[in-house]
Chains A and B, each alone.
Chain A
Amino acid sequence: MGTNDQKRSLPHGLRLVALAGAAALTLTAGLATPLDPASRQARAADVGKKVLTVAVAQSVDSLSPFLAVRLLSTSIHRLMYEYLTNYDPKDNHAIPGLATKWEPSTDKLTWTYTIRDNSTWSDGEQATAEDAAWTFNKMMTDTGAATANGSYVGNFRKVTAPSPTKLVIELKKPQATMAALDVPIVPKHVWEKVSDFSEFNNDKTFPVVGNGPFVLSGYKADSYVRLKANKSFWRGSPKFDELVFRYYKDQDAAVSALRKGEVSFVAGSPSLTPAQAESLKGADDIQVNDAPGRRFYALATNPGARAKNGEKFGDGHPSLLDQRVRNALFRAVDREAIIDKVFRGHAVEGEGYIPPRFQDYFWKPSADRKLAYDPAAAARLLDQAGYKKNGDGKRVGKDGKPITYRVLCHATDPNDKAVGKYLQEWWGDLGIGVQLNCLDNVTDPWLAGKYDLAFDGWSVNPDPDFVLSIHTCGALPATPKDTGATDNFICDKKYDELYARQLTEYDPAKRADIVKQMESRLYDLGYMNVMAYPNAVEAFRTDQIKSITTMPAKAGNIYGQDGYWSWWSAVPADSGGSSDNASSTGVVVGIVAGVVILGGLGAFAAMRRRATAEERE
């Protein structure tokens, strides 16, 4: 009968497991509910610890400043390490960071930085010019350390630290961007122990020694990044005691978390959707910050991919080499409709290459040169260029085949897909087919030149050098097999001359003037057609954050600033009664839910017993 016993025990055991499981679930729900974040916030307030929680979605690629390239990671490095210079939150001009002063020699080839003497690493050591020199030298000599920021030191001849407060950088040729070296300076005495820079991720021992406004105190991949305020930060301690970046891979989840007060701030990636912004505007204690963005959103045209050695590759449509065709296509794009329908007002109509937010460099075409929306004019231009409609109403290329352009789009960007749908219809009316090619990873066809048009966009830095450099001939890949820094293979002599001139122009106003000429040239070429400057739409809880610095101070954004201003300046709100109310509601609801579930289970069990009894008779 031994087997019989075993048999009998099986269902009983399972039923017990089921009940235990259900009970555990109820218990969890019931017990955990009083612990909802609102009450945690309140409790945290009791012990006086103010925590600022920011919802993020992007995974950290690396916490080593030598490897990190993603926005979140580099923003965290801004908080952890002081850079030589910083940008003024009001108007983006360079201001002191670790360096208090910087000046070029008369031959423009030697820059001398004065390093401040009141910045200490979080382990008590003094931060000196020696640390800075070591950081740059490491990047110049070790390819592993050059992974992320190697381009900054490409033009450096020699970096030395003659004294703890003096850093000297010698250049190969003049460079106007020396007050914009966005390189985290790391403590030499900690980092010189690292053996392999290409594999060291700086995420094993905490806290991580730094000298920025915050000290990294904890990290768990795709769960959270935790930073503690650096009370001895030279510019003054942050007002919050702790800053936590918490992961919500789903943007809607992040927005919901903000509504509930689980997080204090949501930026969205790259921005909240119009529907989310609309719904948050009506919510209590939430402020939506709709700031002019630093990005441009453009339609790039393949100008025939080529390498520096003159070799051509890729398979861009030949008709696009005709400027009339490029202009016609852009004249059939209704930018106002894109702003109105796709961005629902959370963007500004595109003009020149650099967004108006950077007023010094902003340029726009005069009314008579503007490629305004005019489908009829576009059709005429195409007719002139010799691309006439055939019997089916399709325009045919020189090869006699109907034209269909392949448009490369980012599968992860809803705007690309939305604008793509409009393009299909607008250009369809012109008689041109559109094949929307949405990929997770567009890099590959892009670098191979296997596209006709592509959705393109860059975040522009206060110093526009980088976004300008990616359209020079020098950025083309050396051979078709290599990777160049080029954005979409533009190579124009006139543009390149202007680029070289601005790089050696140390007078800001004159340099800005040259930059505007470059933008004008780019506009006429018609390879980069800027459709919009999307706003940065973000939101925060006013019952948790009393005030926060935007950048630029007037109508600026909060997340992804050039500098640590937002989180450093954020002032905690006095926790009002509202969160207490919320927490007690949470407790009540939790208990009610628990009781209901338990009651249900009880009733269920009772019914079961009765039923069994019935069957027994």
Chain B
Amino acid sequence: MTTTTGTVPSPRALARQRRRASVARFWRQYRAERAGLYGLAVLTLCALLALFAPLFVGSDVSSVTDAPGRPMQSPSAEFPLGTDQFGRDLLGLVVWGSRVSLLVGLLAAVLSVAIGTLIGVTAGHFKGWYATVMMRITDWFLVMPTLVLAIALATVMSRSLTTTVVAIGVTTWPTTARLVRAQTLAVETRPYIERAQALGGGHWHIMSRHVLPNVMPLVLAQTTLIISSAILAEATLAFLGLGDPTVVSWGGLLQDAREAGAVSAGDWWYLVPPGIAIAVVALAFTLCGRAVESVLNPRLGVSR
């Protein structure tokens, strides 16, 4: 930061400056995407809510022995969304559940994108048998029905948040790998890569210094989109009873509601809010992802 004021900026500072400029340009273009802005606003709100949840609801909101209400009360001034079958405040639980749902979505997406990027970049960079094998594996994961595989994985492992994260992460990475590989191949044809190689840059140098920064925007867009589906996948697994029953998440709340018989009893206040929360957050991430994508690659025209 300080070197930028110098008369002869170092190459590193130049790079930083260029990057800052491109971030600013990105933000300018992103601002023009109205849907993306809405998505971002919703996400910011949700993130703040989840981060500061301990301040409004407190961690004892999920305690069953200290539950404040009677089981399955309908909405009232005391409990704006009613209570669950233990007499816990549902509004508090939905707010509290956002922590787990967002965390799982985020971690699973990061895991998925990390695997995908690693395989994509290496498969693009190292040609030959390594790339062939990696792309064969990728293709093979692509034909696996995602949900079926995730359910199978969640059944094989014990029920915990880690299991959910792994089951989602391991099943959703192949699309990223293929996208990143294509981008890597494109980047590596550029002349400066050849120059770097001639100057003695090793594989690691080229991949981390030249390829990675160039695929990062794509990875960013991809992450945003995958978080959206990871949140849905988390809800799905929890709903099928494959989540950790002792933590509160939105999918888990829906599963609890179904098990308690809220659907036929007409206790809509138990059923509707977690579903809406899932849909809103998933939609917000999708909108952001599409906005990022259309900024980076206007030709796709997804949200023109």
**Considering the chains assembled together, what is the distance between the CA atoms of A337 and B65 in angstroms?**
9
Q: Which residues of A contact B245 (CB under 8 A)?
A: 409, 411, 417, 420, 436, 438
Chain A interface residue bracket vs B: 20 to 34
Does B155 touch A at the CB level, under 8 Å?
Answer: yes
Option from B241, B242, B246, B267 in Cβ contact (under 8 Å) with A275: B267
CB–CB A424/B246 < 8 A:
yes
Q: For chain A, residues 273 to 297, give those with C-beta under 8 angstroms from any C-beta of chain B.
A: 273-276, 278-279
CB–CB B87/A252 < 8 A:
no
- Against A, the Cβ 8 Å flags (1 = close, 0 = not) of B240-266 are 011001100000000010111111111
Chain B interface residue bracket vs A: 20 to 34
Q: Which residues of A contact B64 (CB under 8 A)?
A: 341, 418, 421-422, 425
CB–CB A344/B261 < 8 A:
no
Q: Which residues of A contact B210 (CB under 8 A)?
A: none
Does A259 touch B at the CB level, under 8 Å?
Answer: yes
- Minimum Cβ distance to chain B for residue A565 (Å): 27
Q: For chain A, residues 418 to 437, give those with C-beta under 8 angstroms from any C-beta of chain B.
A: 418, 420-422, 424-426, 436-437
Does B132 touch A at the CB level, under 8 Å?
Answer: no
Q: For chain B, residues 210 to 236, give those with C-beta under 8 angstroms from any C-beta of chain A.
A: none
Does B58 touch A at the CB level, under 8 Å?
Answer: no
**Considering the chains assembled together, what is the distance between the CA atoms of A273 and B260 in angstroms?**
6
CB–CB A275/B265 < 8 A:
yes
CB–CB B266/A279 < 8 A:
yes
Does B85 touch A at the CB level, under 8 Å?
Answer: yes
Q: Which residues of A contact B67 (CB under 8 A)?
A: 341
Does A472 touch B at the CB level, under 8 Å?
Answer: no
CB nearest to B63 among chain A residues: A425
- Against B, the Cβ 8 Å flags (1 = close, 0 = not) of A304-347 are 00000000000000000000000000000000010001001000
Does A443 touch B at the CB level, under 8 Å?
Answer: no
CB–CB A251/B261 < 8 A:
yes
CB–CB A274/B63 < 8 A:
no
Does A272 touch B at the CB level, under 8 Å?
Answer: yes
CB–CB B261/A255 < 8 A:
yes
CB nearest to A419 among chain B residues: B64
**Considering the chains assembled together, what is the distance between the CA atoms of A438 and B244 in angstroms?**
8
CB nearest to B71 among chain A residues: A344
Does B158 touch A at the CB level, under 8 Å?
Answer: yes
- Minimum Cβ distance to chain B for residue A256 (Å): 5
Given A276-B265, A278-B72, are A425 and B65 also a contact pair (CB < 8 Å)?
yes
CB–CB B159/A438 < 8 A:
yes
**Considering the chains assembled together, what is the distance between the CA atoms of A436 and B267 in angstroms?**
28
CB–CB A279/B246 < 8 A:
no
Q: Which residues of B contact A592 (CB under 8 A)?
A: none
Does A440 touch B at the CB level, under 8 Å?
Answer: yes
**Considering the chains assembled together, what is the distance between the CA atoms of A478 and B242 in angstroms?**
34
- Against A, the Cβ 8 Å flags (1 = close, 0 = not) of B85-97 are 1110000000000
**Considering the chains assembled together, what is the distance between the CA atoms of A292 and B44 in angstroms?**
53
CB–CB B261/A422 < 8 A:
no
Q: Which residues of B contact A600 (CB under 8 A)?
A: none
Given A341-B64, A418-B85, A440-B155, are A256 and B263 also a contact pair (CB < 8 Å)?
yes
In the complex, besides A275-B72, A438-B159, 15 extra interface pairs with C-beta distance below 8 angstroms are A251-B261, A273-B85, A274-B85, A275-B71, A275-B260, A275-B261, A276-B264, A278-B265, A341-B86, A341-B87, A411-B242, A418-B64, A418-B86, A436-B245, A439-B159
Instruction: Offer 25 A-B interface pairs, CB within 8 angstroms, sorted by A.
Output: A251-B261, A251-B264, A252-B262, A252-B264, A253-B263, A253-B264, A255-B261, A255-B265, A273-B85, A273-B259, A273-B260, A274-B85, A275-B261, A279-B265, A341-B87, A409-B245, A411-B159, A411-B245, A412-B241, A417-B245, A418-B86, A426-B65, A436-B245, A437-B158, A439-B158
Residues of B that sit less than 8 Å from A by CB:
63-65, 67, 71-72, 85-87, 155, 158-159, 241-242, 245-246, 256, 258-267
